[in-house]
Structure 1
């Protein structure tokens, strides 16, 4: 049902997709979909959660194996390079779904709340990356933690992947390298080698 819903949300958009459509594609009765998820917004949230995580296990993003290189990094540049890879992975899985939610966010309070949650979660990821940068070194002179978080939050937006990779045809490796360089330049005194703290 989740796979069927994801396919329909991407192909038709949120508004044009009904629980009846999802049931038909999934080969189940409509009441089965309603009983499992309760509402269309809840179904969209489940589709997003599974896309972002890669499965349906209740494991926080920060505890996922694919986030581990961020925690293992020992220099600021390594942190941001690893985080750029995380951003690419998330965008590969969910950039198109983020756009579905953004477009539908004005249609109901529940979808607006879902969009707000996505934005806040992106900020939380940015905060984790900045915290790790500071643990392994330092931010460039004059840069506040708040400004650093906002900078990373801008570059972890899957909309950039949508624009550059899906719309403009950039190779994914180029996209990943581009956001890594932008984050390093924004945050570090020496973006080629990583600032080191004392």
Structure 2
């Protein structure tokens, strides 16, 4: 009987956790759509709650504040889901580590940037605009820029294990160049605004990376 009660408690706990996870996902999805469509400043937690089909206190209980919710929207867009796994350890990043040459590293990284750009370009632009008007978003925007540069630095260091960079280019300069090129704004401009398809964008980005960083 004790075992049956314990099994029932575990089952009920699992059901509650699954329900809470589904609720959080619905809130994040609704928030992402509203932030992009209406802007961060103009979107309230009440708006998000209504779109997600939950009460406003539920949104607050799940995330604590609108900036925290925005951060979760970004994190989930970058990663592709809500699993606590860093981007560099995701299966779709693995080709960067498995590449056998400098050119192959950059080809794989261009694919990663294209994949991320497809998911995050609109919300990145939303955060950039909000940072000008909402002080509570400025820190988040600065963190995004720092994280992009850290990712670029990681890839540059991996490149250097295969050989030298382009003559006259040190590691810090190479990181700055790759940081410039991994900006999702490029995807937003060329794919969303100008109508490029995924393949040509990826190939363009890879070519820009190779030309800028590798010996000729």
The answer to which structure has the higher helix fraction is 2
Q: Structure 1 stretch 86-95 or stretch 171-180: which is displaced more?
A: 171-180
Q: Which SS does the other structure have where 2:132 is aligned?
A: coil
Q: Is the Cα contact below 8 Å between 1:76 and 1:138 reproduced in 2?
A: no
In structure 2, the residue matched to 1:38 is: 64
Matched, 1:48 2:74: yes
In structure 1, the residue matched to 2:45 is: 19
Of the three residues 144, 159, 164, the one matched with 1:138 is 164
Q: Which SS does the other structure have where 1:118 is aligned?
A: helix
Q: Which has the higher contact order (CA 8 A, sep 6+)?
A: 1
Q: Which SS does the other structure have where 2:149 is aligned?
A: helix
Size of the aligned set, in residue pairs, is 190
In structure 1, the residue matched to 2:155 is: 129
In structure 2, the residue matched to 1:182 is: 208
Q: CA deviation at 1:107?
A: 2.4
In structure 2, the residue matched to 1:154 is: 180
Q: CA deviation at 1:13?
A: 1.0
Q: CA deviation at 1:165?
A: 0.7
Q: Structure 1 stretch 103-112 or stretch 116-125: which is displaced more?
A: 103-112
In structure 1, the residue matched to 2:140 is: 114
Q: Which SS does the other structure have where 1:106 is aligned?
A: helix
Q: Structure 1 stretch 158-167 or stretch 104-113: which is displaced more?
A: 104-113
Of the three residues 131, 135, 160, the one matched with 1:105 is 131
Matched, 1:57 2:83: yes
Rounded Cα–Cα distance in structure 2 between residues aligned with 1:93 and 1:72: 24
Query: CA deviation digits over 1:87-129, x for unaligned, max 9?
Result: 0011001000000000000223320011011111110110111
Rounded Cα–Cα distance in structure 1 between residues aligned with 2:133 and 2:140: 12
TM-score, with structure 2 as normaliser? 0.86
Rounded Cα–Cα distance in structure 2 between residues aligned with 1:110 and 1:88: 29
Q: Which SS does the other structure have where 1:9 is aligned?
A: helix
Q: Where does 1:74-113 land on structure 2 (aligned, <5 Å)?
A: 74-113=100-139
Rounded Cα–Cα distance in structure 1 between residues aligned with 2:133 and 2:71: 15
Rounded Cα–Cα distance in structure 2 between residues aligned with 1:117 and 1:99: 14
Rounded Cα–Cα distance in structure 2 between residues aligned with 1:128 and 1:178: 21
Q: Which runs of 5+ in 1 are unaligned?
A: 191-198
Matched, 1:168 2:194: yes
In structure 2, the residue matched to 1:193 is: none
Rounded Cα–Cα distance in structure 1 between residues aligned with 2:142 and 2:199: 29
